[in-house]
Amino acid sequence: MIDVGNRLKVFSGRSNPTLTEAICNYLDISPGRVQAETFPDGELFVRLLDDVRGRDVFVVQSTCHPINENLMELLIFMDSLRRASASRITAVLPYFGYARQDRKEEGRVPITAKLVSNLIREAGADRVLTMDLHAAQIQGFFDIPVDHLSAEPAFMHHFRGLLDSKQGTIVSPDVGNVKRARSYAEKMGCDLAIIDKRRTSGSSAVMYNIIGDVEGRDVLMIDDMIATAGTLCEAVKIIRERGARSIRGAATHAVLAGPAVERLAAAGFSEVAVTDTIPVSREAARTIENFKVLTVADILGEAIARIHKHQSVSSLFNNQDYSRTP
């Protein structure tokens, strides 16, 4: 049992109530009571049913599909908390939408990730707790403290028993993901390989080469998200052509947009593992063979407890014990 006192309140938006409930179970508290609804004209309404005056409040809301509705609900939620005199408001964003719009690659385009970070701050957030941002430097977009967590403990616990370090290779599906893949390779004692990718559009990619050896190896591809699954599924073809013995895919955020489910189902993965930062539909879970959803509730719950008690969050990832069940 974790002693967090009676000043801590954890509320859930409508994007991921199951994850919030699991977080509260870890903390041994009940979720805050709230009335949230959508009016016939599409306007959102939030009414707090619990007293939050002087409380340390955390709002759990993944800004996933429908992204604009979930984002707006989060902003309204925090405005309600601020006007109800909450002592501190932390926006818990297991998945941060708009993260891929983090720079200007051409003229006359927005940097929407910065805009969203400004909106969250202005709505009343005193700090942000999030997981596996698409680009770690997005933390700098916020003018309030950001605690950036990793789903690594959940994946490490799951794959340690499935991947032999002598026969395993961690593959980064693109150059931008090398740092994450290298971390897994070092901690699991596996080799590292990198796919040299040339993207042709936002929804498709062309693969050219593999830097490293995958022949006869058990491969694990690690990424931060699966959006349309084009990157992972094209990578599977190349890795299989190079003679891999088995191929597993893993990503923190199961966005699963457009043709993603059909692509993953047809790709022939030995396993696909994601986390519950975004709810996964039952249909998707049934369609994709050997599909696993790992929970990050304990990671988020422990971080919330430490923030509430003014303890270090970064120490969560030092000397981790991967033997315990996530």
Just list the catalytic residues. 197
SS3 category, 166: coil
C-beta separation of 247 from 236 below 8 A:
yes
C-beta separation of 7 from 307 below 8 A:
no
First to last CA, the chain: 16
- Cα–Cα distance for residue pair 82/79, rounded to 1 Å: 5
Closest CA to 6 of 32, 42, 26: 32
- Number of other residues whose CB lies within 10 A of the CB of residue 102: 17
Q: Look-up: residue for tokens 């407890």?
A: 305
Find the DSSP H helices in the chain.
Answer: 17-27, 67-83, 112-123, 152-160, 178-188, 230-241, 260-267, 282-287, 297-308
- Number of other residues whose CB lies within 10 A of the CB of residue 121: 18
- Number of other residues whose CB lies within 10 A of the CB of residue 325: 8
Closest CA to 59 of 43, 70, 45: 70
Q: Which long-range contacts (CB under 8 A, 24 or more apart) does 200-203 make?
A: 203/228, 203/230, 203/258
Give the pairing type, strands 8-12 and 56-60: parallel
Length of the chain: 326
Q: In what order do the strands lie in the sheet with 146-149?
A: 8-12, 56-60, 88-93, 127-131, 146-149
